[in-house]
């Protein structure tokens, strides 16, 4: 299944981060960042008619030393499935 949204995932040694529509989202732990991504996606008008949104998280290999990249060609890439709320449900506030 093709991704509805493709994001670049980066790690600076302390925080994981990604950029969605010009806004940076970051967190110390991946599950926390995934929750922030999910909240942002649920508020995006372009996905309101989707029952779920497939998000591709492709790792930014530029943060890994060149000599290590050959061993990590797919290690950090992942998918996130965001279930969208029903049309009648109220969205939680983004914090």
pLDDT of residue 95: 44
Mean residue pLDDT across the chain: 85
pLDDT tens, 47-84?
A: 999 999 999 999 887 777 777 767 666 567 889 999 99
pLDDT of residue 89: 58
Listed in sequence order, the residues at least 6 apart from 77 whose beta carbon sits closer than 8 Å to its beta carbon are: 56, 57, 58, 59
More confident residue, 61 or 4: 4
Q: What distances in angstroms separate CA 69 from CA 53, 61, 73, one per listed residue?
A: 29, 7, 6
């Amino acid at each position: 299944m093709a991704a509805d949204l493709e994001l670049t995932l980066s790690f600076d040694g302390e925080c994981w981060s990604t950029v969605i529509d010009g806004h940076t989202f970051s967190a110390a732990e991946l599950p926390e960042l995934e929750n922030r991504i999910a909240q942002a996606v649920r508020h995006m008008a372009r996905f309101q008619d989707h029952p779920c949104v497939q998000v591709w998280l492709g790792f930014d290999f530029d943060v890994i030393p060149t000599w290590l990249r050959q061993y990590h060609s797919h290690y950090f890439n992942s998918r996130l499935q965001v279930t969208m709320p029903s049309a009648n449900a109220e969205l939680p506030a983004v914090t």
